[in-house]
Amino acid sequence: MKNKKWILLTLSSMLLLPAAVQAGTPAYYTLGWSSGGVSTGPAMVKNGVAYLDAAAMGSSAGLEIKADTSGKRIQFDGWEKHFAVRIGSRTGVLDGKVTDLGGTVLKQGENIYVPAKFLIKALEGGSVSWDAKNNRILANGLHTFRQVGKTFEGSTYSISGENGDLYVSKGTAAPHKLASLGVQADSVDMTFNKTKGGLLVLTVLNNYGEPHINNQILSLVLKNGSVIRQSSVKYWLRWEKNVTQTDDSLLLTDGKQLRVIEDSTGNVEQTLDLVKLGGEDDVYFVEAFDPDFLLIRPNHKGLLTLIDRATGTSTLLYKELLSAEDQEYAETNDVPYHGDSLKFVKRSGNTLYFKDHNSTKEYTYTLGKA
């Protein structure tokens, strides 16, 4: 076998390194994540053991990091992942089991350094290797364990950051899976609404992607702790707030259809075809809902549309309300997105009131006008 100019050594349990890098030679790491990302940065080598900055790695993995009152014991917590180390000790705890770290936990300035092999194992990465030519630690397949959790009426609702699964737990009972976002949970918020009819509406907003221009809304209707209705819709770039209920009904949309749900029972009272009503094969925002009219907006064209629910006819409101110059802008502008900026304010009798971010003027439209 031909001699190679560089060699890749599998690290032992002590992560012993060649003598050339044992005296303070700069070292680095390149770590691949199961989600597809790569982290790189400086490492440290001492007494033949490679170390990584615990805070940097824990943050990248989405873990919550806490120190005890002495500042010496560091705890890392995430979705079904828990481990702890102590400064000056070579023993730690990984998912409830005492384990040898392969080296002593060090503190330099404000930074805590933990043996690389232990950290990579804790994050469920693959085998660890040493690139001797570049003084670099290599590993792939590291996982993230970020979780988002909120408690409502004694139950804790948690979302796994890596796969977007949503669980609920109460007391000491094991978590029960309710639903899944279907994508990684990124920037997530959860809200809870107890309806007059006794149902619970859990809404999850997930802003995801790089850059963060994708928005997903997962809506769950629960009765006695069980999901009886749900919907999920994904929007791109543009963000508008959907109307979610009337006095007696709940509104669920997947962007293509709108379901009117009876409060208390969860029965579907009516299903509206938004694509047919709006005339665009797109996902729609639902910005107002009354017995006689509907306001919807296609995600990509972004033009607010009035639907007469009696006749099914549609009216592009920007053509009715805006000046010729503003109409042209709504049709041609693409920064930050296509469409108009009309916002529904209120209804008084048959008059609808709107505002536009480009103007302080109040716009009105009368229902039923020829």
CA distance 86 to 82: 14
What is the reported pLDDT for 24? 55
* Type of residue found at 116: A
Instruction: Count the alpha carbons within 13 Å of 61 in the hemisphere toward its beta carbon.
Output: 29
Phi-psi region of 174 (alpha: psi -120 to 50; beta: other; left: phi over 0): beta
Residue 228, φ and ψ in degrees, nearest 5: -110, -25
CA distance 313 to 35: 46
CA distance 61 to 119: 11
At 277 the three-state DSSP class reads: helix
What is the reported pLDDT for 7? 32
Tell me the mean pLDDT per 10 residues along the chain, length 370: 37 43 72 92 92 95 94 94 97 97 94 96 95 94 91 93 90 90 86 96 91 93 96 95 95 98 97 98 98 98 97 97 95 93 97 89 88
Nearest of 136, 119, 137 to residue 128 by alpha carbon: 137
**List of domains in the chain:** 8-142 (3.30.457.10)
- pTM, entire model: 0.78
Place of tokens 């050339």: 20
Number of Cβ atoms within 10 Å of the Cβ of 38 = 10
What is the reported pLDDT for 94? 98
CA distance 192 to 130: 49
Q: Residue 324 belongs to what H/E stretch?
A: helix 324-332
What is the reported pLDDT for 25? 66
Nearest of 351, 250, 236, 243 to residue 289 by alpha carbon: 243
